[in-house]
Structure 1
Amino acid sequence: MGFPGTWMTESESVVYRVVPKCACSTIGQIMYYSDHGEFFDGDIHDAQSGLHKWALDASQLPITENVKGHKSYAFTCVRNPYTRILSSFFDKICGIQRNGKRYRGNLVPLLIQKYGIEVGGDDGKQEFDQIASFRRFLLFARDTIRWRRPMDPDIHWSAMSGHVSTFIVNGGRYDKIFWTEAFNDGMQDVLDAIDTTHTVNLAEIPRFNESEGHGPKRAHPVEAYFDDLSMHLMREIYKRDFELFKYDFDNPANKQPVGEIDLDEVHAKLGD
């Protein structure tokens, strides 16, 4: 299986396991900049050179050798499950993607037909009942994760622990897992631990939020989207994420972590 979703600087200064919807565009650009002294011109997910990625055939051997030998500092970044799935909904389901089309072609029509969701019209700009539609989307997300119906789960709403675990199961070990909610502190810890070709000043780094502006703005506070049933579904899908990465399941309004991530616990529980 190897190391899907793993990126590494060409200088092999650092290895990163991508977790979708967790600041991955910004992290990728920081890695690119640390090697080249400039940002990639465009969405870093489109870069075919300048950064080792598991999806590029020529990168697989260097990544495998590095990770299995733990030659470089390895890290990943996680996010509150409540805000992460809301972000996925507004970006991937309601939004028009950067190619000018809907995400995954027939996905949105399928959701409209089978689950009765609304997405704000053809351009995603019209008024609609965001709360009702999101809750129906959450039901769909649960169905894909629990029963792989009506399709396999998508990387943007499958559990973070699943992404994080493939790295461990195949022989990798993390030196750091930090929260998007404390991005600068966590990213600075990574930068302090590695030697980079070019110095990165986090205070001057723009946020590369590639999904910003794709879809409608969230009209309500986070907690408004989650009633008892929604929270039950969230527990069913993301129980491990809440527990391992120390997020507050009981209060959707609290996006901050409530404890420290225990790396030994993460490796023990996700390494089987």
Structure 2
Amino acid sequence: MGFPGTWMTESESMVYRVVPKCACSTIGQIMFRSDHGRFYDGDIHDATEGLHKWAQEHSQPVISANVAARRSYAFTCVRNPYARVLSSFFDKICGIQRNGRRYRGNLVPLLIQKYGIEVGGEEGTEEFDQIRSFRRFLLFVRDTVRWRRPMEPDIHWSSMSGHVSTFIVNGGRYDRIFWTERFSEGMQSVLDQVQTPHPVDLATMPRFNESEGHGPRRAHPVEDYFDDLSMHLVYEIYKRDFELFRYDVDNPANKMPLAEIDLDEVHAKLGD
């Protein structure tokens, strides 16, 4: 199986397991800049040079050898499950993607037909009941995660622990897992542990939010989208994420973690 979703600097200063919707664009650009002294011109997900990625065949033996020997500092980044699944809805379901089309072609028409959701019209610009549509989207997410129908769960709303675990079960070990909610602190702790060809100043660099502007703006606070039923669904879907990464399942308004992540516990529980 190898190390899907794993990126590594060409200098092999650091190894990163991508978790979608968790600052991955910004982290990829930081890695690129730390090697080349400049940011990648475009969406870092499109880069085919300047960064080792498992999806590139020529990178696979290099990443495998590095991770097996644990030569580099390995890390990943996670996010509050409430905010993450809500972001997935607005970006991937309501938004027009950077290729000018809807995400995954017939996915949105399927959701409109089978789950009765609205997405703001053809261009994603019309008014619609965001809360009602999001709660119906959650039913779809639950169906994909629990029963794998009407499709396999998408990487943008499948559990973070599922992404994080593939690195562990194939022989990797994380040196650090930090939260997007404390991004600067967490990313700085990684940079403090590695030697890079070029320095990176987190305080002055831009944030790369490639999903911003794809779809309608969120009209309400995060907590307004979650009633008792949808909170129950989110916990059913992301129970392990809440527990391992220490997020508050009882209060969607609290985006901050409640305690430190126990790396030993993460490796023990996700390494089966």
Same fold (TM over 0.5): yes
C-alpha separation in 1, matches of 2:178 and 2:61: 27
Partner of 1:119: 119
Partner of 1:240: 240
Q: What's the secondary structure of 1:75's corresponding residue?
A: strand
Offset, 1:205: 1.1
Q: Which aligned pairs between 1:1-272 and structure 2 lie closer than 5 A? A: 1-272=1-272
C-alpha separation in 2, matches of 1:69 and 1:215: 43
Offset, 1:84: 0.2
Q: What's the secondary structure of 1:204's corresponding residue?
A: coil
Q: Aligned pair count? A: 272
Two-structure CA RMSD over aligned residues (Å): 0.3
Q: What's the secondary structure of 1:203's corresponding residue?
A: coil
C-alpha separation in 2, matches of 1:234 and 1:82: 7
AA in 2 matched with 1:49: E
**How big is each residue's C-alpha offset from its partner over 1:102-156, in whole Å with a ceiling of 9 and x where there is no partner?**
0000000000000000000001010000000000000000000000000000000
Q: What's the secondary structure of 2:214's corresponding residue?
A: coil
AA in 1 matched with 2:153: P
Which segments of structure 1 move beyond 3 Å, counting only runs of 4 or more? none
**Normalised by the size of structure 1, how large is the TM-score?**
1.00
Offset, 1:204: 1.1
Q: What's the secondary structure of 1:251's corresponding residue?
A: coil
Offset, 1:78: 0.1
Q: What's the secondary structure of 1:206's corresponding residue?
A: coil
Q: What's the secondary structure of 2:177's corresponding residue?
A: strand
Identity of aligned residues (%): 81
**Normalised by the size of structure 2, how large is the TM-score?**
1.00
C-alpha separation in 2, matches of 1:192 and 1:253: 32
AA in 1 matched with 2:246: K
Offset, 1:34: 0.2
Q: What's the secondary structure of 1:25's corresponding residue?
A: helix
C-alpha separation in 1, matches of 2:85 and 2:135: 11
C-alpha separation in 2, matches of 1:48 and 1:259: 38
Unaligned runs of 5+ in 1: none
